[in-house]
Amino acid sequence: MNLTGKQQRLVATFLDQRLARFRRADVAEVLHRTISPRNPLRATSLAAVALRTFARDGKIVREGHLHWKVATDVRTLLDGRQLPQHDRTTKLAITTRVPEKWVAVDLENGEVYGGSPQGWRRAEKSDAALTGAAAALAKRQGADG
C-alpha cells in the first residue's frame, strides 16, 4: 500500500502544524478523508506507511511507545546525509577481551576513537591507518552485499 501525492502533502501539512507529539491515529484521521470507500482500517494502514516513510526521511522520530514528534534537530554527516538528533543520549558499549581491535569514527566531524584497556580514546595521527583500514573494510562489505 502506497501513499498518493495528495496524501503525502496532507500528512506533510499536518506535520508542519504539529508542535506537540502525535499518534498514528491522528495521522489516520487526516488520511481517512482521502480514501474511498472510507475504511478506518485502511486509513490506519496508510498512516503506518506514512509514519515509516517520514521517519525514514528523518522528518519524524519516535517519542515513547505510541507517540511520534517532528524531528527538529538534524545533523549533517560528512557524506551529506542528514539524521535526526534524538532527545536522549545513547551509550554505545562494546564488551570484548581485545579492546584495541575496535575503532569508532564520528561520521559528523571525522574524529576517530580507538579502543584501549581503559575505554575509548581519541586516536593519534599515527593511528590514521586504522581509519583507512576500517573504511576499506566497510566499503568491501558494502560491495559484497
Scanning the structure block, which residue is given the C-alpha cell 516513510? Answer: 53
**pTM score, two decimals?**
0.51
pLDDT along the chain (145 residues), means of 10: 89 83 93 90 94 90 87 80 78 91 86 88 72 71 64
Q: Provide the pLDDT for residue 107.
A: 86
Identify the pLDDT of residue 46: 94
Cis peptide before 37 (omega within 30 of 0): yes
CATH of domain 5-70: 1.10.10
d(CA 144, CA 57): 25
Q: Are 43 and 31 in contact (CB under 8 A)?
A: yes
According to the model, what pLDDT value does residue 109 have? 84
Find cell 498518493 and name the residue.
4
For the chain, the structural domain boundaries read: 5-70, 91-144
User: Could you tell me the end-to-end alpha-carbon distance of the chain, in angstroms, rounded to an integer?
Assistant: 27
Q: What is the pLDDT of residue 127?
A: 65
So what's the pLDDT on residue 105? 85
**Packed helices 40-56 and 24-32: angle between N→C axes, nearest 10 degrees:** 120
